[in-house]
Homo-oligomer: A and B are copies of this chain.
Amino acid sequence: MRAIAWHPAARGLADDAAVLEVGGETLVLTHDAMVEGVHFLPGQDAADVAWKLVATNMSDLAAKGAEPVGVLLGYTLGGDDDARFVEGLDAALAHYGASLLGGDTVAGNGARVLGLTAIGRATYRPVPGRDGAWPGEALWITGPVGAAMMGFEALRDGTGGDSLAYRRPVALLGQGQALAPHVSAMMDVSDGLLLDAWRLARASGVSIDIARMAVPIAAPEARRDDALRWGDDYQLLFTAPPEAALPVPATRIGLLAPPGAAPLTLDGIDVGEAGLGYEH
B101 to A4, Cβ gap below 8 A? no
CB atoms of B117 and A31 under 8 A apart: yes
Is A132 in contact with chain B by the CB < 8 A criterion? Answer: no
Task: Tell me what chain A mostly uses at the interface: helix, strand, loop, or mixed.
Answer: strand
Give chain B residues whose Cβ lies under 8 Å from the Cβ of A112. Answer: 113
**A74 at interface by CB-CB < 8 Å:** yes
Residue-by-residue, is A48-84 near B (CB-CB < 8 Å gives 1, otherwise 0)? 0000000000000000000001101111100000100
Chain B residues closer than 8 Å to A74, beta-carbon distance: 31-33, 74, 113, 115
Contact B104 A115 (CB under 8 A): yes
Expressed in whole angstroms, the minimum distance between the Cβ of A50 and any Cβ of chain B is: 11
Contacts of A117 in B (CB 8 A): 29, 31, 72, 117
Contact count band on A = 35 or more
Contact A102 B4 (CB under 8 A): yes
Q: Chain B residues near A159 (CB, 8 Å)?
A: none
A residues with a Cβ closer than 8 A to B are 1-10, 13, 15-18, 20, 22-25, 27, 29-39, 69-70, 72-76, 82, 86, 89-90, 93, 99-113, 115, 117, 119, 121, 280
A-B contact pairs, 8 of them (CB 8 A): A3-B103, A7-B100, A9-B100, A17-B102, A18-B72, A22-B69, A36-B109, A104-B115
9 additional contacts, CB 8 Å, given A18-B101, A37-B110? A2-B104, A4-B105, A10-B103, A15-B104, A18-B102, A20-B69, A33-B74, A109-B111, A117-B117
